[in-house]
Amino acid sequence: MKDNMSNNHSTAVSPAALLEKWGFEPSVFNADEARKETRLDSVMEYPEWFLEVLGNTKSLDFIIITGPRGTGKSSIRRSISDHCKNRIGNDILDGSVLCINIDHDSPKWVENFVTNPQKPSVNYFCEEIVDQLLVAVLTYADIESFKDKLDKKEAFFLERYIYKLQSTRPDDVSAIADRLLSKYKKLRNSEVVKDWLGILTSFFGNQVSLENRKIETSAIEDLPIMIQIVKKCNFDAIYILVDEIDEYDLTTGKPGFAAEIIVPILSSMNLLEKESIGLKFFLSAPVYQRLESTSKNMSMEIRYDRTLQPDPYILEWSDDNIATMLKKRLMSYSTDKNYNSLKDFCSTDLIDIDQKIVKYSYKNPRHMIQFCDRIVRYTARVAYSVDFCINEQIFNKALTDFCKWICNNIYPKDYLIAIVNFQKYEIVDLDFAQNNRISIDHTHDILDEMSRLGALKSRSILSGEKTYTVCDPRILYLIEKEVEI
């Protein structure tokens, strides 16, 4: 390795340089979100029910996948999307599937709902679906041959939505226009082609009229026509993957509000009965846990009779799964594919580092990556003085920092502080109430919420007394070390 790691002023190197010294690519621990991961298939594990949620063109009932943040819901979504894009996937899917993703990169429909809540959220949701399907059709279809497959009604429908698309998705319009102009050079000098609408209508010839561009019908009513158009592009079915509903700017930290947006969609027979569409909802645990109470409050019935199974698919991992993911990640990003453990880069006073990483990741793949990243950064700060090795002191500093950060990130801070300051692994509700000078009802609100988030396990006895056991090892560590939050 080049001597660019020498530093006359400190013992530090950059994390990237340290990883290079160890024989890893610098991006090994950068992908703490599915969208950042460049080697998804090489580093992820699949749950045993993956093929069920993948489905096929003959099995299109809606499904719900749930789990805490960071457990890999978006990775499963990406994998489903990837299967839809390749020929191998077509064999498994029993046909060709057009897959669209509705996530926090497409926030307009939620913004429209918040601005005008008089209409149900499902209306705005269907508008988003139609817009995305239209963009997909115009992006991937061979427009010149595709136009001949449309009847007059479909062509007129397409023209009206293309006109609307110019105002709702100008960036998509611009990108598609550039592609079409590049492909069909003869259009460049045509006086008719003055804007993007002109480009498309020139393909339709005199089949359609430009006079009536206003859309009178709702998107949910127009969806069947859009599905027919998609099928004329040689797709057998459509997957709509709904993810990150509680990660929009307007829904972050508001799982109850996210549930209010989702419930009308899960209750809409008009949508759920549409042929050739498979809806797959990836909901964080806090949102899913509020669906039942929200549906009652809104007097709407979630149509579980239209789902593949009444209970959701729960994404959860064992310690063995996390250990396997760690090995896969290290192997995949090792420059010579020889390393599947960090123990080779530890000093003699630190043993079982991989097992400790698994333990404090607490069954969460994202947390495993984030913890490893902290270990690398703390080691890089003193790399020359420790001969580029992770020692116990470095590990403990990284662990303390990680436990404080992750617990503050996933739990309400006031609740976390109260539990850590209580300094007991077993919590009796009456004792906790007295210690914090709060009512027993408030105590149950706090401890039940922490149980729901995975920090505690609760149990009741016949006397009515409730006890709670701290089960998150990160909180146990903070209590044991008396770490100040």
Question: pLDDT digits over 325-348, tens only?
Answer: 999 999 999 988 789 999 999 999
Q: Tell which wins on pLDDT, 240 or 201.
A: 240
pLDDT at 72 over 90: yes
All CATH 1.10.10.10 domain ranges in the chain, comma separated: 411-480
At 456 the three-state DSSP class reads strand
- What is the per-residue pLDDT for 169? 76
- What is the per-residue pLDDT for 4? 46
Q: Tell which wins on pLDDT, 156 or 374.
A: 374
Counting residues of the chain whose pLDDT is more than 70, the rounded percentage is 87
Question: Which tokens is 454 given?
Answer: 């995975």
What's phi and psi for 283, nearest 5 deg? -115, 135
- What is the per-residue pLDDT for 336? 83
DSSP 312: P
pLDDT at 159 over 80: no
pLDDT bucket at 214, cuts 50 / 70 / 90: low
Question: Which tokens is 176 given?
Answer: 């598609």
Please state, in angstroms and rounded to a whole number, the distance separating the CA atoms of residues 466 and 31. 40
What is the average pLDDT score of the chain?
86
Segment 250-302, tens digit of pLDDT? 888 899 999 999 999 999 999 999 999 999 999 999 999 999 999 999 999 99
- What is the per-residue pLDDT for 46? 93
Strand order of the β-sheet with 97-102 is 97-102, 237-243, 277-284, 63-67, 313-314
Please state, in angstroms and rounded to a whole number, the distance separating the CA atoms of residues 167 and 280. 28
- What is the per-residue pLDDT for 161? 78
At 168 the three-state DSSP class reads helix
Please state, in angstroms and rounded to a whole number, the distance separating the CA atoms of residues 378 and 371. 11
Cβ-based burial of 176 (10 A; exposed 0-12, middle 13-18, buried ≥19):
buried
The one-letter amino acid code at 83 reads: H
pTM score, two decimals? 0.85
Angstrom CA distances, 437 to 175, 320, 430, 432, 442, stand at 61, 42, 10, 8, 10
Segment 397-445, tens digit of pLDDT? 999 999 999 999 999 999 999 999 999 999 999 999 999 999 999 999 9
Region 342-367 average pLDDT? 96
Q: 43-47, 223-227, 241-245, 247-251: which has the minimum mean pLDDT? A: 247-251
pLDDT at 24 over 90: yes
Helix (H) or strand (E) holding 88: helix 87-93
Give which of 306, 253, 336, 281 is closest to 61, Cα–Cα.
Answer: 306
- What is the per-residue pLDDT for 408? 96
352: left (phi over 0), alpha (psi -120 to 50) or beta: left
CATH architecture of 411-480: Orthogonal Bundle (1.10)
What's phi and psi for 239, nearest 5 deg? -105, 135
pLDDT at 211 over 50: no
How many C-beta atoms lie closer than 10 Å to residue 316's C-beta?
A: 14
Segment 84-137, tens digit of pLDDT? 887 555 678 889 999 999 988 878 899 989 998 888 999 999 999 998 998 888
pLDDT bucket at 6, cuts 50 / 70 / 90: very low
* E strands present in 299-425: 313-314
Region 160-188 average pLDDT? 67
Residues in the chain: 485
Please state, in angstroms and rounded to a whole number, the distance separating the CA atoms of residues 135 and 164. 12
Please state, in angstroms and rounded to a whole number, the distance separating the CA atoms of residues 12 and 391. 15
The one-letter amino acid code at 208 reads: V
